[in-house]
Amino acid sequence: MTLKGKSAVITGSNSGIGLGVARELARAGADVVLNSFTDLPEDHALAAAIAAEFGVRARYIKADMSNGNACRALVDAAGGCDILVNNAGIQHVSPVESFPAEKWDAVIAINLSSAFHTIAAALPQMRKRGWGRVVNIASAHGLTASPYKSAYVAAKHGIVGLTKTVALETAQEPITCNAICPGYVLTPLVEAQIPDQMKTHSMSREDVIKKVMLERQPSREFATVEQLGGTVVFLCSPAAEQITGTTISVDGGWTAL
């Protein structure tokens, strides 16, 4: 399929899942806007590299996803948003009674409220252009829970609820809204944790991955950023026109347990 002529905004996309999604959308022909909270030469170089590799327009726009006005300004600055992928997120791990209030506020703002603001800004553009796809990157933790991750789990459950509401509000329009729920994904951030885990547990790389990091993922394999990007592309395809308001798990069977 081709997404030529479509414009995609992907939040939190200068690395990891977001960058993988941006690359797969560009591979399918979409123009892409990358985003994060930094404004470094390498951020803009990423966009230039995608443009050169896939022959599309690609830009990087700095925006602080903890600020609602900045979220809306990002969508406006994109100059057209047919596809919105809400991916920006942070994590903090702590028991509820000692969870810092400022960390709770930050996780909710970046992981949940940012999606509300970007969707609110994007929907009028999608309606004007007569087509739209909203894809929210939730998590297996949008469908289940783990201890010590209260803010993250609450935010990701909220993303699933927001997805359903937006889908109902756009159900009779050529706009869909869905959530992808990944399990553990092999990103540079996760890859960097493996050597320390090997030392901590005195295990081989393979054993750390399968017995420690992927203990809750029945496939015992990481999902890849390319697989998540491919899922986003599918949700933008004609085959997915009647898929809206739902979650698609890319978790190796985690939520089947």
Which domain CATH number covers 177? 3.40.50.720
Number of domains in the chain: 2
CB-based contact 62:39 (threshold 8 Å) = yes
Both structure tokens of 84: 């919105």
- Average pLDDT, rounded, for the chain: 97
CB-based contact 218:253 (threshold 8 Å) = yes
Question: Is the model's pLDDT at 1 over the cut of 80?
Answer: no
With CA atoms as reference, report the closest residue to 21 among 122, 151, 137, 162.
137
The pLDDT of 159-180, averaged and rounded, is 98
Question: Is the model's pLDDT at 94 over the cut of 90?
Answer: yes
| Residue 101: domain span | 7-185+223-250
Q: Which of 60, 148, 152, 184 is catalytic?
A: 152
Both structure tokens of 80: 């057209």
One domain, residues 92 and 114:
yes
Q: In the structure, what pLDDT confidence band is assigned to residue 182 with cuts at 50, 70 and 90? A: very high
Q: How many residues does the chain have?
A: 257
The pLDDT of residue 189 is: 86
The pLDDT of 12-34, averaged and rounded, is 98
Q: In the structure, what pLDDT confidence band is assigned to residue 220 with cuts at 50, 70 and 90? A: very high
One domain, residues 212 and 115:
no
The C-alpha atoms of residue 47 and residue 134 are separated, in whole angstroms, by: 21
The pLDDT of 163-167, averaged and rounded, is 99
Tell me if residue 152 is catalytic. yes
One domain, residues 197 and 152:
no
The pLDDT of residue 165 is: 99
The C-alpha atoms of residue 84 and residue 177 are separated, in whole angstroms, by: 9
The pLDDT of 235-255, averaged and rounded, is 98
One domain, residues 74 and 151:
yes
